[in-house]
Structures are given as structure tokens and as C-alpha cells.
Amino acid sequence: MKTERILGHIRQKIHLTDEEGAIVSQSFKFRTYLKGQYIIQERDVSRYQTFILSGKVRTFYLDNKGNEHIIAFGIEDWWVGDICSFATQTPAEFNTQCLEKTTVAQISFQDMEQLYRDVPKMERYVRIIIQAAYGSMSKRIVRNHSMSAKERYLLFTQTYPEIVQRVPQYMIASYLGITKEFLSHIRKQIAEERKN
């Protein structure tokens, strides 16, 4: 059941009684998006926190020259969206778009605040999730400064092999902060090195 999936994820981090579990379950709504549809678009206020049950998405920023910059991918069991927009209920700077048919669990801002009151432990769950996300973000900044594009690509393929297989290359280039042409060049280099 859909509810089980997200409850399972929460229960990996905090203990919930059956009653609390029921309250949590009832707070979520389920929705399916088609390929290309947007879960959140920049300038809209992010009304929902979104947990992916199946499918895959990308979160990206559109700069003033019209170029897309992918900040994050999301697949099964990942939280996605513009956390800043949701937390402060201000217009989003980021877009979250589905790269294939994607089923999600969503909780609205009001329901989340109510849930924090009804099941205060959920504060702990969200804190733990965000702390981990923050940690990986800081490491990413450091890597962008201390590693070459080639090194970052190799690290990415090791860390997220499922994403490498399921996402077009030009999006991985965007995530790494390089052009698709240069990623192609890097891949050629790597292929040639492996021949020897």
C-alpha cells in the first residue's frame, strides 16, 4: 500500500505508535503526474512537501540567460521540491518537473503544521532528514571547488548508478555544472583510459 511506503521511511528514523502512524497516514494525499508535468514551478508558492513513491523528477533553476541548472534529481523514497519556498511559504525559485510518470505522497503546509502539533515527533523526523540533506549539500560545494569535472563525474556515477542509467546525459552535465559537450569529451577520455 502507498501509505506503507512513506510510513516505512519515517519509521526508519523515529518510532511511531499505531495511533500516530494513522494520523501521519491520513495527512498525506496521493497524486500521479505525467512525464513533463511540474510538481512545483518557480514563482508559485510551494503548497506541498512531496515524497516520491515511484518515477523520477528533476529540480532545476532557470537563470536570466534562460539556461537550466539542475540542482537535484529525485527517485523513489526521496523528498523533493523547493524546501525554502515550502518552509517560508514564499515564491519558489526552483522548478520540480517529472521526467517520467511519477506517483507521489504530498502533505500541505497547513496539514504539516497540524501534524507537527498532533505528532511532535515529526519535527524530529524532518530535522533528521534535512540535516542529512544539508550535510550532503555542503560536501557538494566543497567537491565543486576541489575536484575537476572528470573527478566529479566519476564520483557521481559511483554514488548514483541508478540515476546515471535513468537520466539523459545532458541533465547529468547540468547537475555537475558543465556543458553536455564537455561531458561527452570526458566520457571519451574515460573510455580510452579503460582500453589500456
Q: What angle do CA 134, 136, 140 make, to 5 degrees?
A: 115
**Which residue type does 129 have?**
I
- Is 134 strand, coil or helix? helix
Helices (H), the chain: 2-11, 18-27, 83-88, 109-118, 121-146, 149-159, 161-166, 169-176, 180-195
d(CA 9, CA 17): 15
Size of interface with DNA, in residues (CB under 7 A): 17
Out of 17, 19, 30, 134, the only residue in the binding site for a copy of itself (CB under 8 A) is 134
Out of 45, 112, 128, 154, the only residue in the binding site for a copy of itself (CB under 8 A) is 128
User: Is the CB of 29 or the CB of 127 nearer to a copy of itself?
Assistant: 127
Question: Euclidean distance between the first and final Cα of the chain, in Å?
Answer: 50
Residues 17-36 that bind a copy of itself (CB under 8 A): none
Show the site string, 143-182: x = touches DNA by CB under 7 A, - = not: -----xxx-----------------xxx------xxxxxx
Contact 56, 102 (CB under 8 A): yes
List the single partner that 134 binds among a copy of itself, DNA, none, CB under 5 to 8 Å by kind.
a copy of itself
Residue 2 CB, shortest distance to a copy of itself, in Å, is 25
Summarize as ranges the residues that interact with DNA (CB under 7 A).
148-150, 168-170, 177-185, 187-188
Q: Which residues bind a copy of itself (CB under 8 A)?
A: 61, 63, 67, 69, 71-72, 83-84, 87, 93-94, 116, 120-121, 123-124, 126-128, 130-135, 137-142, 144-147, 177
